[in-house]
A and B are shown apart, each in its own frame.
Chain A
Amino acid sequence: MAAKTLLPFRRRDADDFEQRIGPHVDGLYRLAFRFTGNRHDAEDLVQELLTRLYDRRRQLREISDLRPWLARSLYNLYIDTLRSHNRTPFSQLDDDETRLERLPDQGHTDYDDFDRVLMQALNRLSETHRSLILFHDVEGYTLPELSQILAQPVGTLKSRLHRARARLRELLREHDMEPFSARRRVNG
């Protein structure tokens, strides 16, 4: 017969975990959706993260600013998932213009034509550039927050973000889909 476990701390720990993590779950899901591109994988990613975090719930009490810390944890887990999915060597993830196959997109998001082209262009970026744009321009993380999340100096991230945006604009121009350019064509 399995032993019964007497856990005097369990209720308090569980409540504490829920109170600290609960308010961040929606934000983590949003981020996960941006990275994975569909609800199913986003939910799986967040679930796996929470399961791992529950084992470290005492450590969570010592973290004053959870938002960037959790975003970093989620991002690392996503990269691990991507690596195992692609069997990609670790170092290649940091290379610009490395092509990675994303997790399969089974989402049902109602994108308009421009959104669809924009997503395709984002998915053609290197993982480094794509992540920066998703974090900063899509989800609104600040450069100081990203410095914590990605463990890079703000100046480095700023330069990379500029290059990432330039590359995205270039890819959109290939589709003749820069937002204002379409309007200009119509007017011209």
Chain B
Amino acid sequence: MHCTEIRNLLDDYLDDLLDPSRRERLQAHLDACTDCREELNRRRDLQHRLRKLPIDGPAPGFAARAVHQARQKHRQRTRGFLTGFGTAAAAGLALWAAVGFWQPAEERQSPHIRAITLEVQAPRDIRLAFNVPEQYEQVRFRLELPPGVNLANRPGQREIVWQDRLEPGRNLLTLPLVAERDTEGELVARIEVQGIEKIFRIPVRAVSRGDGQALFIETRTPV
């Protein structure tokens, strides 16, 4: 091997990318050639200096703060979007249904509720709005999905239960639904506060070529 050829292989040698026979021949040349050995040392030294280049660390707590701010900014944007959607809903895109104020336990399918129509395998956001006249704390929500319909972000989960607060006016819930096959059933929303439960049943139909478009559901009239 000549020096020119050796120089072309030095980077691969340092990166440990040479096959054993080439490595052996290169090593033999280096043992005999001072210039190539010095070139190798210069390159090794440069790699070491690059790896050790100083860095200014981030401000204390940066990682946690950055994650928190990402979440906060998302919430701010989401709120803005939903408010805007409400305007569109008032202009006629909305499908109105759901809660008025609390009465003793009752179960009904509101005449204001139209069926949700989904296209099979096409995820769509369904927005439910619950209108209440006053604030309720520790409200228990329970949603049950019809067979063949999944939450896009929770495949296989048929039921969601959580606690939240209802504030006076409109309370919005977004459900990313996706139907896995043609089906008909009901989306059941159970809302319980202070031992009183209201149940809402929303017909859901999934077809292979859907025409679903009105996917905003809200109460206009207290039930």
Contact = CB atoms under 8 A, between A and B. Distances in A.
Interface string B24-67: 00000000000000100111011111110111111100111011
Contacts of B162: 8
A25 B63 contact: yes
Given A17-B67, A51-B73, A5 B78 contact: yes
B153 A54 contact: no
A165 B11 contact: yes
Interface string B93-132: 0000000000000000000000000000000000001100
A186 interface: no
A65 interface: no
Please list the 7 inter-chain residue pairs (A to B) with the smallest Cβ-Cβ separation, ordered nearest first: A180-B42, A179-B45, A25-B63, A3-B170, A50-B70, A6-B173, A4-B167
A8 B173 CA distance: 8
B166 interface: yes
Given A50-B70, A184-B38, A179 B11 contact: no
Given A1-B168, A46-B66, A115-B49, A14 B71 contact: yes
Q: What does DSSP make chain A's interface, helix, strand, loop or mixed?
A: helix
A117 to B, nearest CB: 10
A3 to B, nearest CB: 4
A137 B50 contact: yes
Interface of A: 1-9, 13-14, 17-18, 21-22, 25-26, 29-30, 33-34, 38-39, 42-43, 46-47, 50-51, 53-55, 58, 107-111, 114-115, 118-119, 133, 137-138, 140, 158, 161-162, 165, 168-169, 172, 178-181, 184
Contacts, number: 151
Nearest to B48: A179
A165 B50 CA distance: 11
Contacts of B51: 137-138, 140
Nearest to A54: B70
Given A43-B58, A50-B66, A109-B55, A55 B74 contact: yes
B54 A115 contact: yes
A180 B41 contact: yes
Contact of B63 (A9, A22, A54, A179): A22
A178 B42 CA distance: 7
A165 B165 CA distance: 60
B83 interface: yes
Task: Give the bracket for the number of chain B residues in contact with chain A.
Answer: 35 or more
B50 A138 contact: yes
Given A5-B171, A51-B73, A58-B153, 7 more contacts: A6-B164, A22-B64, A29-B57, A29-B58, A109-B56, A161-B11, A180-B42
Given A179-B45, A180-B38, A180-B42, A3 B82 contact: yes
A7 B141 CA distance: 11
A4 B166 contact: yes
Contacts of B223: none
27 contacts: A1-B170, A5-B79, A5-B172, A6-B172, A14-B71, A21-B67, A25-B67, A29-B62, A33-B55, A39-B56, A42-B58, A50-B66, A51-B69, A51-B73, A54-B71, A58-B153, A109-B56, A118-B53, A137-B47, A137-B50, A137-B51, A162-B8, A162-B11, A165-B11, A169-B42, A178-B46, A179-B46
Given A4-B170, A137-B47, A179-B45, A22 B67 contact: yes
B141 A8 contact: yes
